[in-house]
Structure 1
Amino acid sequence: MKFSLKSIGSIVTAISMMTMAVGARADETPDVRLFNKFTTALQGKTIAFVPMSYGMFLTDGWAHVMKEEAARLGMKFVTRDPNWSTTAQSQAVQALIQEKPDVLVIHNLNVQLLARQIRQAQQAGIYVVQLNLVSNQISDAYVGADYRRVGREIAADLVEACSPQKGKSGKISIVQGELTNAASLQELGGAMEIFEKHPEIKIVSNQAGDYDANKSRDITQTALQQNPDLCGVYDFFDVMALGAAQAIKAAGQQGKVLLYTTGGGQRMACDSWDAGMFDRYWDTHTLQQGQDLMTTISLILQSGQKPGAVEMAVYTPVSVWTKENYSRSLCYDLPNQ
């Protein structure tokens, strides 16, 4: 086999370049290589967040963590506030698809609203992460509580606490969230799995409070009037449950009628607990969810997978406050609040 001077020169040049590359890799320690991969994947990337609304502890808490972590990681954080409007949320997501952030984080107002746009975003090369409320359309990741499990746990606790075998009436009132809200649907589904196995428990009221404290108060007030021996109220969200607590107190039943609820562990929850409003509290840990969200985003960006190629879930920890383990240190405050 004969080689021309030109071909030999090309081979020598290629070998030299390979040698230099191998030398560079050899000088790069594993920790440096991992760090470089990490920073290359994240730095300069844009995260866009569209919550249901701002002005509530959950979304303000998540945004606080995302903003701080994005700054630390050299990323850009942008957000839109639909202020509880389905139209505004859909329009905000559509506009962001055109702007093409690297990651789109959505907090679905209902299970169907953004299903089509989730697919559109992924087709446009945008990773989509659903936060705490899942859509009918699965995206690259879901980060949030397992609300079916929460529903099962609360129902099981109420079955035991309100059992006629303990001299209780077995009567329970349920105040759901919004009828097409994912968390509300999942909690109810999980709870009914338990209640349906216990005919001794009577659900005397099961209505949607739409996350409105006034509606929760009215629903609970009626349930108490119609059932003076009501044993417990299961209200799906702590801010809404303040209304149920008011109705129970006004009826002179505080400490007698149980009130179980869920929330993110903000300072208001501790204040309400200290006032005797709640008897059990399932804490979804808002700030920890924010950290878990950012870790998930980091892993997605480092994965090298195309948007839509992977479906994953990160079910975040939930803990239960009781009279035995409660402490004000369980709650959080945000700066300037």
Structure 2
Amino acid sequence: MKRKITALLAAAAAAVAMTACTTGSSGSSGSAPGGGNQAFGDSAQLFDANQKAHDVMKGKRVAFVPILYKGYNLTQNWGASMQRAFDNLGAQFQVYDANFDPDKMVKIVNDLISRKEADVLILHNTDVGVLTKQIEDARKAGIYTIVVNMMSSQLGDAFIGVDVVHAAQDITKRAIADCDQRGGAKRLAIIDGPGNDAASLQWSKGVHDVADPAGYEVVATAHTQWQNAAAQQAAASITQQQKDNLCAYMVTYDLNSVAVGDAVSEAAARGVIRPNSIGVYTMAADTLWCDALRAGKVTASVAYDVQGVGAAAVVTAQQLIQTGVAPGSTHSVAYVSHAVVDRSNVDNTTIACYKGQ
């Protein structure tokens, strides 16, 4: 009888062990992306979970390819957040600076894929189509892709960024309220990037969504490739043409808006326009923009959680690797918070005045 009970207990123990293996509760720490092994099951021991979260990321190679890195607060902020987090997890993190060159960006990503030098690609693309093939090639190579801030027509595993359409709608409502209060002309001008990128396209839609029903006209749109000198030159030319018939500039990003603010200030100093007759509105609010705001060169911005984008990219990378889903088998779009800021609240808004590190 004792032998029978012992045999039954052994069989039961074996069955439990087999069940644990098939439900993924034991996981496979450090398994390759897309291997189908989940790191965690329905429950986990407190300290075991901590160790496994580190084990599964140890040695994983994460490549961040932004449109520009060195000297650019936006992408350096993301990179700093990613570096700290991936270092803590034991992953290998590397930044590849495309330096505003789409051809260079394509080459960098192609090389990373062909040499299989990354488990996760975090991409910040220049327009909606430039990395379409590369994102698909990464999927075929078993590499996860996370796109940040500038959505691509090829979604990849995840997109993380600001909700540009709603951000543009919110700041346009503010611009129109200011224009109505000043009693100026119902005319706006848009200054954006290349024009065929997601941010520029979504920004324009958001502005028109609010301006058109309110009876405001967008009299000019300038594509300045995110170059400050080009933005300042475009604003100087439009201001000269429109003079006091223009009420506001709607500028897609903060640094370009500072250049536009300089052009407006210079026009006012030369008597081309009345002082404070043209407002300058934008999206994002780094520390340089905040300085320009306090100096009276720009009017308001819809600040968004820039550091949250970098942190969310790290979390997403961990989730993809922990779940072991095949690259390209799931897709998600996630937005961070945003808020309109001006001189009255900028110093009390945590997502405003961000730095590069």
TM-score greater than 0.5 by the shorter chain? yes
Q: For the residues of structure 1 that align with 2:158 and 2:275, how far apart are their CA atoms?
A: 41
Deviations 1:195-240 (A, max 9, x none): 22232x1222222122122222222222222222221111111211
Choose which of 141, 149, 158 in structure 2 pairs with 1:141. 158
Q: State the SS of the aligned residue for 2:243.
A: coil
Q: Normalized against structure 1, the TM-score is what? A: 0.87
Task: Name the residue aligned to 2:3.
Answer: none
Residue matched to 1:223: 238
Instruction: Determine the C-alpha separation between the residues in 2 that align with 1:285 and 1:49.
Output: 19
2:303 maps to 283
Name the % identity. Answer: 25
Q: What's 1:104 paired with?
A: 121
Alignment of 1:63-142 (within 5 A): 63-100=79-116, 101-142=118-159
Structure 1 position 320 matched with structure 2 position 335: no
Inter-CA distance 20–91: structure 2 relative to 1 (3 Å threshold): closer
Question: How many equivalent residue pairs?
Answer: 323
The answer to whether the 8 A contact 2:148-2:160 is kept is: yes
Residue 285 of structure 1 deviates from its aligned partner by 2.8
Alignment of 1:291-330 (within 5 A): 291-327=311-347, 330=352
Deviations 1:18-57 (A, max 9, x none): 67898x99xx963234334423332221111111121211
Residues 48-81 of structure 1: CA deviation (Å, up to 9, x unaligned): 1111121211111111111111101111102211
Contact 1:204 1:223 survives alignment (8 Å) = no
Residue 108 of structure 1 and its aligned partner are, at CA, apart by 0.5
CA RMSD of aligned residues (A): 2.8
1:333 Cα deviation after fit: 3.2
Equivalent residues of 1:255, 1:276 under 8 A apart:
no
1: CA distance, partners of 2:7 / 2:138: 45
For 2:196 and 2:331, the matched residues in 1 are separated by 23
TM-score (norm 2): 0.82
Asked if 1:153 corresponds to 2:174, the answer is no
State whether structure 2 residue 349 is matched by structure 1 residue 333: no
Separation of aligned partners in 1, 2:303 and 2:166: 13
Tell me if the contact between 2:222 and 2:234 (Cα under 8 Å) persists in the aligned partners.
yes
Q: Any conservation in 1 of the 2:293–2:342 contact (CA below 8 Å)?
A: no
Give the match for residue 251 of structure 1: 267
Deviation at 1:120, TM superposition (A): 0.8
- Asked whether the 8 Å contact 1:272–1:278 carries over to 2, the reply is yes
Does the 8 A contact of 1:213 with 1:239 survive in 2? yes
CA distance in 1, matches of 2:107, 2:137: 13
Q: Which runs of 5+ in 1 are unaligned?
A: 1-8
- Between 212-221 and 56-65, report the one with greater CA deviation: 212-221
Aligned equivalent of 1:188, options 188, 194, 204: 204
The answer to whether the 8 Å contact 1:162/1:171 transfers is: no
**Is 1:270 paired with 2:287?**
no
Shift of 1:10: 10
Paired with 1:327 and 1:38, the residues of 2 have a C-alpha distance of 37
Q: Highest relative contact order (Cα 8 Å, sep 6+), 1 or 2? A: 2
From 68, 73, 83, the equivalent of 1:53 is 68
1:250-302, CA deviations, whole angstroms, 9 ceiling, x for partnerless residues? 12255331110122x33212211111111101212322221121112122222
Matched residue SS, 1:327: helix
Please give the per-residue CA displacement for 1:100-145, whole angstroms capped at 9, x wherever unaligned: 3111111001111110110110111111000111111111000111
Aligned counterpart, 1:261: 282
Amino acid aligned to 1:106: L
| Kept in 1: contact 2:168–2:283 (CA 8 A) | no
> Whole-Å Cα distance in 1 between the matches of residues 131 and 253 of structure 2?
23
